[in-house]
Structure formats: C-alpha cells, structure tokens
Chains A and B, each alone.
Chain A
Amino acid sequence: MKAAVIVFPGSNCDRDIQVALRQSMGSEPQMVWHKDADFDDVDLICLPGGFSYGDYLRCGAMSAKSPVMKEVVARANKGVPVLGICNGFQILTECGLVPGALMRNSNLKFVCRDLHLKVERNDTVFTKQYQAGQNIRIPVAHHDGNYFVDSEGLKALEDNGQVAFRYSAKDGSVSEASNPNGSLNNIAGVYNTKGNVLGMMPHPERLCEDVLGGTDGRPMFDSLVAALS
C-alpha cells in the first residue's frame, strides 16, 4: 500500500499519523506539502489533525482552498480512500467531501481525553478489523468538534448508513451523557455516500501502542493496509 499524508501550515498530527501508518504498513508514507498538488499516485490520502492556518476564518476553511485539496477532491471522487482526522475532518466538511459542519464544542472548551466510540459498520476499508457495534476507546482533542448537519442531511446520513462512529459510554450505550461536544446524534465520524471518505474527530493514531495507553486505534490502520495492499 502507498499512502500520502498532506501537511498544511499548522498541521500538528502529521507525524503522529506517519508513525501509525508506518507501524501498520511496514514502510514509509509519503509526506506531501500542501503546495505540492502534483504528488504520486497513492492508495490512501490522510488529512492530519492540527490547526491548519491557525483555524483562522473557520477551522479548515483556508486549507480547503489549498492547491493540494483540488487534487484530493478529484482523487476522492475517483474512489481513492481519504481519511480526515480532527482538523482533517473539518477540512473535509469545508471542501464538501463529507456532509455537515463542525461547530464550537457546546461547553465552549477544548477537550482532550479518552472517549468511547461505537463502531457503526465494519464493511468499509477503514473498519474491517473492528466488529460492527464494537465499543472502542479513542482520544479526542478539539475545540470545534460539535457535528451539525440540517435535518434532511441528518436523515440521509442515518438512512444511508453514513455514520461511522458515535460517542458512547464505557458500557457501549449512546446517550447525551456520553456526548462530549454536543454533536447531533452523538456523531463522531461520517462517511461520504460511497464510503471511501471518512472524516472523524477522534484520533485513532494516538492509541496504537500499549506504552501510550492502548491499541484500539490500530485496527483502523491495519484494516486500511489489509484492504489496500
């Protein structure tokens, strides 16, 4: 498998994804500077977390207009898998690859902690090595992760099975009590209609090693390697 990690000015989880990919791939992903729209053909494109362009204007809004994003959108539309984590998810919504928007957390505070997520589907390239309905522990770290989409959009997401993950409690239940940021229907991640683009606020790349406190993030990268190699 060949993977590319797009690096924007202000990205700060680019190395973290690089490390997680390297561990699952056994080889180096390509790090692509945002001004370089002409990067190699790859099997997977990752948009990392961080504060691209300082979150100025709106989170992800300026990066969505970056030269490289035209190319990412074109390739995504051809079916290349794209994974956007945290700020990467915000960029995906801003460029329309996934529906909805990420608003300020409902308590107006940055939140960094481990949370539980319910895996909705395990039939995508991202989640084959999880079980459907599995409850996994993955950290979040964001100020603007409050997922919103209009009621028609929400219905479409739910009807098409485009919800990837929901914030859950340790026992797997999904309720307002397990919602860290006010997201509609506890949505933590969504797919595009074809299922080849995934945007998610939680950081699976942060829990891929026992020494860091857990490995529930690793199956996502292993799934991608297994599906795309």
Chain B
Amino acid sequence: MSEITPEIVAEHGINEEEYALVLEIMGREPNLLELGIFSVMWSEHCSYKSSKKWLKTLPTEGPQVIMGPGENAGVIDIGDGNAAIFKMESHNHPSFIEPYQGAATGVGGILRDVFTMGARPIANVNALRFGEPDHPKTRHLVSGVVAGVGGYGNCVGVPTVAGEVEFDPSYNGNILVNAMTVGLAKADRIFTAQASGVGNPVVYVGSKTGRDGIHGATMASAEFDDASDEKRPTVQVGDPFTEKLLIEACLELMQTDAIVAIQDMGAAGLTSSSFEMASSGDMGVELNLDQVPQREEGMTPYEMMLSESQERMLIILKPGKEDLARSIMEKWDLDFAVIGTLTDSKRMVLKFHGDTVGDLPIKPLAHHSPEYDRPWVSTPDSKDVLASDINEATDTTDALKTLISSANMSSRRWVWEQYDHMVMGDTIQRPGGDAGVVRVHGTNRALAVTSDCTPRYCKANPVRGGAQAVAETYRNITAVGATPLAITDNMNFGNPERPEIMGQFVGCIEGMRDACLALDYPVVSGNVSLYNETNGKGILPTPVIGGVGLLKDSTKTATVAFESEGESLVLIGSSIGHVGMSIYLDVIEGRREGNAPIVDLAAERKNGDFVRSQIEGGFVKSCHDLSDGGLAAAVADMAIASNMGAEVIKPAEVETPTTAWLFGEDQGRYLISIGDAESLLEAAEEAGVSAVVVGRTGGNDLTLPGGSTISVAELRTCNEAWMPNYMAG
C-alpha cells in the first residue's frame, strides 16, 4: 500500500505536474520525509519558481559588486578593503498571524543572512505596511510588529536607522514586514555556502531544534483565508539573546581558518541549508539525525528536517578543526554537534537510529525546481489627472496641515523611538531624515541606507512605479550627500497565478531594470513574497527597494534641517505639477486617481549628481528629497527638523497652478537651502539642471503661497500627534 496519497501530496503544496517531476527525479515513490523535503525546497518561497524568469532580467553587475544575487546576501566594495553586505527579506505571513514573533524572527533571519557571510551587522532597516487605521486588527498588528522589530534588534545591539510605515486597506488581511540588514566585512574575508572536501565534518551550532515553524516556507507560499489564524503554530519563536551570542561566536570562529563554508538555517531550516551548501559545491552529504541537538523528545526525521527553529547555523569545517570550533561555541554557551560529513555521492543521505530514512539526489532537487512562465497581462493605462483638473486649495496652509496630520504623512517618531538607533556608536544621521547614516567603524567613511516604495504608483503604472521606487532610494541617499552604490529588492505581490498580478510583477521589474541601468545602481540581493492575498484580494504591488550608498567623507553630509536664518531655498529639478495618484489628491480630494508620475531617469541622474557635488563641495546647508506631498511637505519637514520657519515664494514665471505646484509629486527633485544661491544657480545652469529660488528660511512661521501663516510649533504638533494618538485609541 502506498504511503503517499494524492491528499498528502496536495497538503504539501505540490501539484500533480510537480509530483510527476518528483517521481521522475526519485525514480521511485518518495517517502513522507522525502516528500516534505521536496515540498519546502520547491515552495515559492525557496524556489522562486514563478519569479525566476523575470528576476534574471535585472542588472546585477558593476565595478562595485563583489557578489550579486545567489548568495545569502549581496556584497559591494566600499573602499579601504571593506565590503558592505546586505539584503532585505519579508516575514509577511508569520507577522500577520503572530505580529511580535513574526516581526522579531524576520529581523533575526535577515541578520543571520548577513553575518553568515562574515559581516558584523551595523544597521537595520524595516519597511512595514499595515491595513487601514480603522480596521479592527491594525492597531494590534502595528503594536506587535513594532515591539517585535525593536525587541529583537535592540537586544542584539544593531541600530535600526531607517524604514517606512504605510497604511492602506489592501493590507488589511495581509501586512508586509520587510526587514533589511547591512553588515560590514573585510572584502577579502567573505564566507560563502559552497561546500568542498570529501570527508569534511558538517557541524550544527546555535539553538536546539524544536517543532516550531514546521512548513513555514510552505505557509509563506499560500494565500490566506479566514482560517489562517489556525496556522499560528507554524510561526517561529525568536531568541535575540542567542542570536547575539551566535553573531559573536561565528565572527570569532571566522577569525580562525577553520571554516570551509557556512550557511544559516533559515526558511526550511536544516533541509535548505544542507541542500544549498552541498548543491553549490556539487557535493553529497550524509547526515546522522540522531546527532541533531533537540529541544523536545521524540522528534521524527521529518520534524527535524523541516523545523524552522531560529538561531541555528550549519558549518562545514576543515578536517581537525572540530575542537577549536567547539571551544569557541562552548565559550558562548551555544550547542555544537558534528551531524554529518561531506561525500562525493551528490546525494543527501539521512540516517536515523541506524537506518537510512531518506536518500535524495541533490542537484535535481535544488536546481531543477519547477520554473513557471506564468501568463500575464499588462496593467491598462490609467487616465491621468491634470493640474488643471483639481480644485485650487482655498488655503494651501490648511491643506498642508491636513496632509501632514494624516495617517500616511504623519511623523513616525512613535515607531523609531522604540528602536535603539544609536547603539554601536556610529549613527551619524538618525531616523527621520532622508536616509540613515552609519559610520564605517574606525574610519571617516559612512554608509547611507534607506528603503522606499510607493505602492499606489505601482498599482496605477507598474513600470513607472518600479522605476520610482529605485529612483527614490537613489534620491534619499543622494540627499545626505552619499553616492548610491547598489540595491536589494523585496518583491511583495499577490497571487502570481492571476495574470493581472503577474503583469504587475513583470511591469515593476521592467521599471526597476530601467532605473538600475540608468543610474548604475545594480541589484545585489533580494527576496520575493507572492500570494499576499486574503480571500482572493491582492495587496497593492509593493516592490520595496533597499538602497545603500557611500559617503567617502562622513563630515560632508547634509541633513534636512536648515542651518540658519536667511538661507535661500532652491528647488532642484523641473515641476509640472503632477497630481495623479498624489497624496494630496487622495487625502484632500478623496480621489485615488490618475497615473503615476513619469520618472525621467536621465534627469534623475543629472540632478542627483549635481546635488551630490554641491553637498560634497560644502555649499549646501540642508537638503531634502521631494516625494509624497511634494514641495510643501518637504519644506514642512525641514522647518520641523530645524525648528525654524520659512517663506515659500512661487516664482512669477511659474505657470503651474499654485496647489499643483506646491503638492505635485514630480520626480527627480530636491529642496536645498544655501547661503549663496547665485553661484549655485550658475553651476546648475552649466550642468543643465533646473534650479529655481523658491523662498528663504527664517522666523518661527511657515508661509506658503495661497496660504495663511502657521507656526513651526503647530506644524510639529500636527505632524507628531497622529501616530501616538492613534495607538492610544
């Protein structure tokens, strides 16, 4: 009688076609353990089967790239023999089911992806998206996720320096928790997962294995329905204290020459780590599961191979280095066990109580996972809303007040004050500005990090939205004076089996590709999260981009705060007053209509290079990129940050209606304040960059054209009140 019924196959998320491939690869019927291994290895989460075809089209190379996608994280050269290692990863489904642990283990997982390559984590970033504020679950989810991100990051002692929080009804049943870590390593001491050396010991370190998180990767690859709360037992539980010990222990072990290869046990735990290591080295491996440190009694091979218990690493050691490695792990009170050896069989052989309980070929399983060319349809063009199609605001200042007091424009201070953003003593720019800036310890260099995406643009026009997300990170990094080097992407979409969703994915990738090429800003790592749907309703397409840039001289940076009274405000970049899909249209007129703004990538680059050169030259007193809410929102941010007023004056030659000029979301723009505007305007003209004086700093009030005057103190109150008031509600 067959052990494997069609029902069991279906429960493992394997369809009929895929099962036929399983039978072909195995040459026989798999047992339950083997089927479980296929299931997690071929889950969307681990195999990228729907997205691979399109991800391959993204540019991944450049002189700054040391290692691109395919490793645990991307590696870029930041000079002086140092490398930055970074990646962003989603933990969406677990965070919806159990927000604290889901978010916490999301942070833990991405930290491991980075330190497994030999890097000390130096900055965390997180991009969070929740349902509408009035949804009954939202407050609980915000509270739990923020506490979870903080609870983990604060304890391990890595500063959380940047991020985003957005609310939208499309995330009501499917929140997004995207966590990014940036680490610092020596460029010539990068560790990979490539196993080699027949007979080398396979070593397990870290926490013990329990029954938590079994089939987490499979859960992350399915849609939600009303019964999803029943999946709570599949959410892992994090222990940041053990993670901190694991970081220190691994980095200490990496100082020796004991390691051949190292891989964290992330999604699909022991299965994916052992398969990936053996596969990338074209080796075989034999594991004795009796040796796996276990937290619970009576665990089966199936449970051990599929557990997603946290804070575990798999290491291939050089022969004879077991005692050295064991002594370091024991110093840090971590479990250490030799659980297997490398072989030349190119097969995974699993032993338990003396029997062979699983025997699978490695390459076909790891590399020949199904790859789909899913049908897709382009997102139809949206009819745009023109500057002349909106009502002029009766008082632009009132409109600004409403905007900056709204759910999506209000200050996130309530969030980032729950994150330790200063630990490690190198945070030069804290959250609240355009990008977080952390010094490269012991040097005068610094890294700028940010994450961005504007999902409503991506919905209206995936190609423009994809390009805009990349461009906005480029701009945020530029606005602090840094040179953008590379990105990581976290592609959050609905069900790829629906052609319109797949079309959103394809469109966003196209836009991202264009932007990466135009800006010499390659993708070095990433993660795909599909099936973000509940009861058949997909989220807004959300390709979150994490950008990293370099400041060669950390003293030559700009912040969003004006320095002194009487500085000229200069608007860099052209404004046509694009109001389609703008925050203004949404919040003030209650219309989410129109097209996404055009992203002129040549202008984006030219303007960025110009602004950066002005900051490097020491001319710029403050700088802010223009995004949601346009010029008016940017000047309000700057006034609040500096506790100083400003007057915005619309130049006589500008024909755009005032409301669209103030609140339009044209791309490629910056607002800077500067002492000597004349020289700047001349330099801009020479560089072919649009620059125009739009006001000056000073006083305690903000004045807008077409608007009344408001004190900076009141602006701050409006901006900072929403989040704490909402959370207290």
Which residues in B have their C-beta under 8 angstroms from that of A20?
425
Are B439 and A110 interface neighbours, CB within 8 A?
Answer: no
Are B154 and A211 interface neighbours, CB within 8 A?
Answer: no
Are A212 and B425 interface neighbours, CB within 8 A?
Answer: yes
Is the C-beta of B679 less than 8 angstroms from some C-beta in chain A?
Answer: no
CA of A206 to CA of B159, assembled, Å: 12
Are A13 and B157 interface neighbours, CB within 8 A?
Answer: yes
Is the C-beta of A132 less than 8 angstroms from some C-beta in chain B?
Answer: no
Is the C-beta of A113 less than 8 angstroms from some C-beta in chain B?
Answer: yes
Least CB distance from B183 to A in Å reads 15
Which residues in A have their C-beta under 8 angstroms from that of B151?
110
Are B422 and A206 interface neighbours, CB within 8 A?
Answer: yes
Q: A9-B241, A20-B425 are in contact. List 7 more A-B contacts (CB 8 A).
A: A12-B155, A12-B424, A50-B157, A54-B241, A110-B151, A110-B154, A110-B418
Interface string of A4-25 (1 = CB under 8 A from B): 0000011011011001100000
- Which residues 147-192 of B sit at the A interface, judged by CB distance below 8 A? 147, 150-151, 154-157
Are B423 and A16 interface neighbours, CB within 8 A?
Answer: yes
Are A113 and B332 interface neighbours, CB within 8 A?
Answer: no
Are A51 and B244 interface neighbours, CB within 8 A?
Answer: yes
CA of A37 to CA of B157, assembled, Å: 25
Is the C-beta of B420 less than 8 angstroms from some C-beta in chain A?
Answer: yes
Closest A-B pairs by Cβ, 5 of them: A12-B157, A54-B241, A16-B425, A51-B155, A141-B420
Is the C-beta of A222 less than 8 angstroms from some C-beta in chain B?
Answer: no
Is the C-beta of B245 less than 8 angstroms from some C-beta in chain A?
Answer: yes
Is the C-beta of B392 less than 8 angstroms from some C-beta in chain A?
Answer: no
Q: For residue B444, which residue of chain A has the nearest CB?
A: A211
CA of A206 to CA of B421, assembled, Å: 11
CA of A50 to CA of B420, assembled, Å: 11
Which residues in A have their C-beta under 8 angstroms from that of B240?
51, 54
Number of interface residues of B (CB under 8 A): 32
A interface residue numbers (CB < 8 A to B) = 9-10, 12-13, 15-16, 19-20, 49-51, 53-56, 109-113, 139, 141, 143, 203, 205-206, 211-213
* Given A10-B245, A51-B241, A51-B244: A212 and B157 interface contact (C-beta under 8 Å): no
Are A141 and B155 interface neighbours, CB within 8 A?
Answer: no
Least CB distance from B720 to A in Å reads 12
Is the C-beta of B417 less than 8 angstroms from some C-beta in chain A?
Answer: yes
Least CB distance from B168 to A in Å reads 25
B interface residue numbers (CB < 8 A to A) = 147, 150-151, 154-157, 239-242, 244-245, 332-333, 416-428, 430, 439, 554-555
Least CB distance from B34 to A in Å reads 37
Tell me which of A9, A19, A49 contacts B245 (CB under 8 A).
Answer: A9
Which residues in B have their C-beta under 8 angstroms from that of A12?
155-157, 244, 423-424
Which residues in B have their C-beta under 8 angstroms from that of A53?
241
Which residues in A have their C-beta under 8 angstroms from that of B332?
9
Q: For residue A141, which residue of chain B has the nearest CB?
A: B420
Tell me which of A16, A51, A56, A205 contacts B154 (CB under 8 A).
Answer: A51
CA of A25 to CA of B17, assembled, Å: 69
CA of A33 to CA of B643, assembled, Å: 45
CA of A15 to CA of B430, assembled, Å: 19
Are B155 and A54 interface neighbours, CB within 8 A?
Answer: yes
Are B424 and A16 interface neighbours, CB within 8 A?
Answer: yes
Are B423 and A211 interface neighbours, CB within 8 A?
Answer: no
Which residues in A have their C-beta under 8 angstroms from that of B421?
112
List 29 contacting pairs A-B, 8 Å CB cutoff, sorted by A: A9-B241, A9-B245, A9-B333, A10-B241, A10-B245, A12-B155, A12-B157, A12-B244, A13-B157, A15-B424, A16-B423, A19-B425, A51-B157, A55-B155, A56-B241, A109-B418, A110-B147, A110-B151, A110-B420, A112-B422, A139-B422, A141-B154, A141-B422, A141-B423, A205-B425, A211-B439, A211-B555, A212-B426, A212-B428
